[in-house]
Homo-oligomer: A and B are copies of this chain.
Amino acid sequence: MAVNLSSPDPKTLLPVAGVELGVAMAGVKQADRRDLLLIRLAPGASVAGVFTRNRFCAAPVILARRHLAEARGMRALVVNTGNANAGTGDDGLARAGSVCEGVAKALGCAVQQVLPFSTGVIMEPLPIERLLAALPAAVTDLRAENWAFAAEAIMTTDTVAKAVSRRVRLAAGEATVTGIAKGAGMIRPDMATMLGFVATDARVPQEALERLALEAAGRSFNRITVDGDTSTNDSFVVMASGAGPAAATDLDLAALGGALNEVSTLLAQAIVRDGEGATKFITVRCEGGLNSDECLRVAYAIAHSPLVKTAFFASDPNLGRILAAIGNAGIADLDAGKVDLYLDDVLVASKGSRHPAYREEQGQAALRKAEFTVRAVLNRGPASETVWTCDLSFDYVKINAAYRT
């Protein structure tokens, strides 16, 4: 199950000047599917990446980080699905390096100008011969109109391809932002797991792009949870080809940042919507906190609680479970007697106890919907934060218990 929006119409995806994409069938894990994606960037492009904090991070993550630190002027990204090249030690690093070398040779750039990404099963050796053999076909296929095929080529267990485009007006002209992502909810370290690639034709200084990438990741991919597990391969990359208008002023950067945030948020939400077993898409908002950190603690305490998530699955407005989760968020001086709780617009608990006028049918009506908002108001400060999650269903256990057997 899933709470997907409809798949993106390929015709609505906007090409990004200075960014070409080519896909090919390498047969990494199965035959007859596009599983290799090559992205070529125009000379002078800026690239910024945000990567998993998991200490068991995958070989391509280590190498991509290293290349970004060593070199400027990235020219290519190479992505395979079917194999995550994670838990593979030094041999995995060497294999990721070989793929980068192949791309560098094919495109005529330095090996450090190539960033590698892998997703799929972990602890299996990456089949580099097959990837290198398919590379010429991907090079031949390079074109700016290939975003929809690219979104499909990075899927693993996703049930829909995830892609979004936006236009944004800068002082020097209109810029385009197009992004793709894959992931069925961070719930599969085996299919290690979340990848996001967003490109714009705007010209953005490196430092500014790094700031925008961090901010976009923080407001999107770092605000979703299916089950609290973080994969070994999570990567989010923002590319600015520079073939379009310059983002020269603070105003331009703010406008571009807004578009990047919007594209990233829609992609991140698409991952939660596609979470295995998901039957509900839930926005969890915490308001009135002292600071952003404690709002996130509360929001994630609710979004991670298996008890809350099974109650959501059952459309059961189980206030006790939500309040107990808030109480467990680790805020030592939280005054429970000040907390208000809303399910959509229904005030279900006020000052820490059930609201006298609240009737259970109201809560049930809210939770029966496929999408709803849980809002906890701490009434102790000005900060607020939002995260997105899904429910915990029979199918979650079924899929994850059955996955390898």
Contact = CB atoms under 8 A, between A and B. Distances in A.
A338 to B, nearest CB: 11
B55 A306 contact: no
A405 interface: yes
A400 B310 CA distance: 6
Interface string A385-405: 000000011101110111111
Contact of A230 (B53, B324, B353): B324
Interface string A36-72: 0000000000000000011111000000000000000
Interface stretch (A5-13, A83-91, A140-148, A198-206): A83-91
Interface stretch (A16-24, A25-33, A186-194): A186-194
Interface in A358-402: 392-394, 396-398, 400-402
A164 to B, nearest CB: 28
A87 B392 contact: no
B352 A89 contact: yes
A319 B397 contact: no
Interface stretch (A94-102, A174-182, A326-334): A326-334
A327 B87 CA distance: 11
A228 interface: yes
B327 A56 contact: yes
Nearest to A308: B229
A219 interface: no
Copies of this subunit:
2
B394 A319 contact: no
A353 B87 CA distance: 5
Contacts of A401: 310-311, 313-314, 316, 393-394
Given A229-B324, A397-B393, A55 B314 contact: no
A89 B230 contact: no
Contacts of A354: 87, 123
A76 interface: no
A190 to B, nearest CB: 5
B56 A326 contact: yes
7 contacts: A54-B328, A55-B326, A89-B352, A189-B320, A229-B305, A311-B401, A314-B402
Interface of A: 53-57, 86-89, 122-123, 187-190, 192, 227-232, 304-307, 310-311, 313-314, 316, 318-321, 323-329, 331, 334-337, 349, 351-354, 392-394, 396-398, 400-405
Given A87-B320, A192-B324, A394-B398, 4 more contacts: A189-B307, A190-B321, A229-B328, A230-B324
